Amino acid sequence: MAAEGLVTGGLDALVDLAWGLVPSGQGRALLGVCGVPGAGKSTLTEALVREVARRHGDASVAHVPMDGYHLADVQLERLGLRDRKGAPETFDALGYAALLRRLHEDADRDVYAPGFERTIEQPIAGAVLVPGGARLVVTEGNYLLLDRPEWAEARAALDEVWFVDGDDEVRLERLVARHVAFGKSPAEAAAWVAAVDEPNADLVRSRRDVADRVLDVTAEGWALRA
């Protein structure tokens, strides 16, 4: 049973909401999926994209992660930010905003976007294709609602932003496990989560109330908060 104040509808209902953003006729919609580190943004985004593709065809939808705009380590070292990798200032927010604007304005041609390779923890240029004619682009990242000028530009290019929230204990376990999987020792992973990921999480969660929709992660999937 859903918790009080939640409206459930399953993935089908969320896909209907996402596809409902698509304009009639030509053009495309851009949906942002936001949330604290480890909340399950990518899981939701991938599920949405798979189901939209099943209903409307593979070329109808694309997934563009904000993580492609991580600054490379060489730039983080130059800026003295290597030990804060993942914080808002370690992204090219204005470059990301420019891509989002282009995706709205250039909907009929193929657009290549950067991806992020977790095995080397680096952005990869041109790794993501948004096909010309795709009607929906889903992008996910921590800072889509951040109240800073550079991130506000990104938000302005999105039709809606959904915020994914979940159980903190599960989220922290997932974060530590992710860092361990990509090379950190358990102690290093826990220290990184405490020093970097959790301050970022507090910042992200402070903007939850300005999201267009809030989704809670449940054992059954997702529940749309009323």
- Per residue in 9-47, pLDDT (tens digit) is 578 999 999 999 999 988 999 999 999 887 888 889 999
CATH number, position 154: 3.40.50.300
In which domain, by residue range, is 136 found? 6-218
What domain count does the chain have?
A: 1
Q: Is residue 71 part of a domain?
A: yes
Q: Is residue 84 part of a domain?
A: yes
Rg, Å, the chain Cα set: 17
Matching residue, tokens 């470059």: 95
Matching residue, tokens 């102690």: 187
- Give the DSSP per-residue string, 1-35: -PPTTEEE-HHHHHHHHHHTTSPSSS--EEEEEEE
Q: Is residue 1 part of a domain?
A: no
| Sheet order of strands, 160-165 included | 6-8, 221-225, 213-218, 160-165, 29-35, 136-141, 61-65
- Per residue in 121-171, pLDDT (tens digit) is 889 999 999 999 999 999 999 999 999 999 999 999 999 999 998 776 777
Question: What is the model's pTM?
Answer: 0.87
- CB of 142 closer than 8 Å to CB of 93: no
Q: Is residue 224 part of a domain?
A: no
Q: Is residue 223 part of a domain?
A: no
**Does position 197 have pLDDT exceeding 50, yes or no?**
yes
